[in-house]
Structure 1
Amino acid sequence: MIQHLRPAFVMTALFTLLLGLAYPLGITSLAQAVMPNAAQGSLIRRDGAVVGSQLIGQATTSPRYFWPRPSATAPDPYNASASSGANLGPTSAKLAERVKSDIERLHTAGIAGPLPADAATASGSGLDPHISPAFARAQIARVARERGMTEAQLSDLVGRVEEGRLLGFIGEPRVNVLRLNLALDAMKS
């Protein structure tokens, strides 16, 4: 009987070492060598301290800053351990109420006119750190008023931090909210 069990134990130990240790260590080492910033979480630092990641959004409610899109990780917005979509369909009363509430909040804050879709809808993961350039521009008047800056200054800032399509044709132009807010803090206001 041992002669039949021995190959199973040997193969289990071999594949555990190979796939559980050697492969992850090899891929991690390769990632650290080829793209160290991405391998370490794409962290954003200010004055030597980590202030966030360029891959995960942050909840910001201060009127002095640009706001991200809604997060689907309620009750804690942008909680990476709760990443998932809300699974609420287009006929969901709960989704309609949340979107209506978000739109009212934005209009109350002084963001006028028609809003881009990402102003009131969460991303699939609920963690998206980006907003559309249209949503960033829609917030310029509010942020300018709160900071005593001109809208032209903020419009220029949004244009500088706007990211284009990947390889020129994949995805949509976008603005990383944390990078935008850090650039906003760096400006003299």
Structure 2
Amino acid sequence: MRMSTWIRQHLAALRALLVLTAITGIVYPVAVFAVAQVPGLNDKADGSLITVDGKTVGSSLIGQPFTDKDGNMLMQYFQSRPSAAGDGYDPLSTAASNLGPESIVDTLDADPANVKSSLLTTVCARSKEIADREGVDGSRPFCTEDGVGAVLSVIGPRDADGEVSHPVQVVSVNQACPTTPFLDTYKGVKVECAKPGEDYSTGRIVPIHGDASTDTPVPADAVTASGSGLDPHISPAYAGIQIARIAKARNISEDQVQVLVEAHTDGRDLGFLGEPRVNVVELNLDLDSKHPFRG
């Protein structure tokens, strides 16, 4: 290849690089920024920030916990759904727990720092905590009364289908000793509590449905985190079971709280996408504005 041809090709490549850099690196970002500042769009482009008395207190797009400096729930506020983003609602650590429906066995250990709860036990524990706080029935299928997953390891010879028809040992794998197991016996065998550190995976893992109704007052969004960990919304059902507590804490009527809940409830997008939802951040700010807490 002649040197002049080589130089021309590289100069053409350089010109293309400079033109594309100017378009994609300068013109396009400036155009997007300019469009984002159009009235009606600029609030969303800037993060849908919420200000009170000139101070930014949050965003309508990002949830936040309503707890004190020690992490204790503030009774005068509606509570958000759980969050797995960092220490909770951390925009820099958006994440989910990545636990699925097969996560039903806890990792028990004598050292509490090494104990890892399954998704099932996490849901059961949250449901019990919310039920105790809101004065509703938090019992759920596959959950024990003390808020862990109702799961047995049934140990013994298996038949061709993998079933253990004559167990020799049955262990409630999520209830560490000396806890009394949620069942006395299973197939005629006394149910034992689990010894931390013991491996019961050789047994057949059997979740026990129990007699709790599937129509629990504590809805799914109250006990599970969103995929991003930043969802600012809860369901009307979760908001509904918190109304009595809020009214009592603020010394107002439940009807007054209900009016605000309805004011901050959005319907399905386009009438058929998603589910109705309540923006917790905006609702709590409106509560403070109209019915200040005097604790």
Query: Which amino acid in 2 is paired with 1:11?
Result: A
Is 2:168 aligned against 1:65?
Answer: no
Task: Kindly report structure 1 stretches of 4+ aligned residues shifted beyond 4 Å.
Answer: none
Q: 1:26-105, aligned counterparts within 5 Å?
A: 26-33=31-38, 35-60=41-66, 61-74=73-86, 76-93=87-104, 94-105=118-129
- Equivalents in 1 of 2:237, 2:76: separation in Å? 18
Q: Give the structure 2 partner of residue 12 of structure 1.
A: 17
Normalization by structure 2: what TM-score?
A: 0.60
RMSD: 1.6
8 A contact 1:111–1:141 mirrored in 2 = no
Of stretches 158-167 and 134-143 in structure 1, the one that deviates more from structure 2 is 158-167
Is 2:221 aligned against 1:118?
Answer: yes
Larger radius of gyration: 2
1:9-46, CA deviations, whole angstroms, 9 ceiling, x for partnerless residues?
22222212211221111112112115111111111111
Is 2:167 aligned against 1:155?
Answer: no
8 A contact 1:157–1:184 mirrored in 2 = yes
8 A contact 1:111–1:139 mirrored in 2 = no
- Equivalents in 2 of 1:85, 1:144: separation in Å? 32
Unpaired stretches in structure 1, ≥5 consecutive residues: none
Which of 172, 181, 189 aligns to 2:284? It is 181
SS of 1:155 mapped into structure 2: helix
- Equivalents in 2 of 1:107, 1:21: separation in Å? 55
Give the strand-richer structure, 1 or 2. Answer: 2
Q: 1:13 to 1:66 in 2, by over 3 A?
A: same
Query: Which amino acid in 1 is paired with 2:41?
Result: M
Of stretches 88-97 and 125-134 in structure 1, the one that deviates more from structure 2 is 88-97
1:91-149, CA deviations, whole angstroms, 9 ceiling, x for partnerless residues?
11422222222212212212413211110111111100001111101111111222222
- 1:6 Cα deviation (Å)? 2.4
Q: 1:32 to 1:111 in 2, by over 3 A?
A: farther
Normalization by structure 1: what TM-score?
A: 0.91
Identical aligned pairs, as a percentage? 45
Of stretches 26-35 and 48-57 in structure 1, the one that deviates more from structure 2 is 26-35
The count of corresponding residues between Structure 1 and Structure 2 is: 188
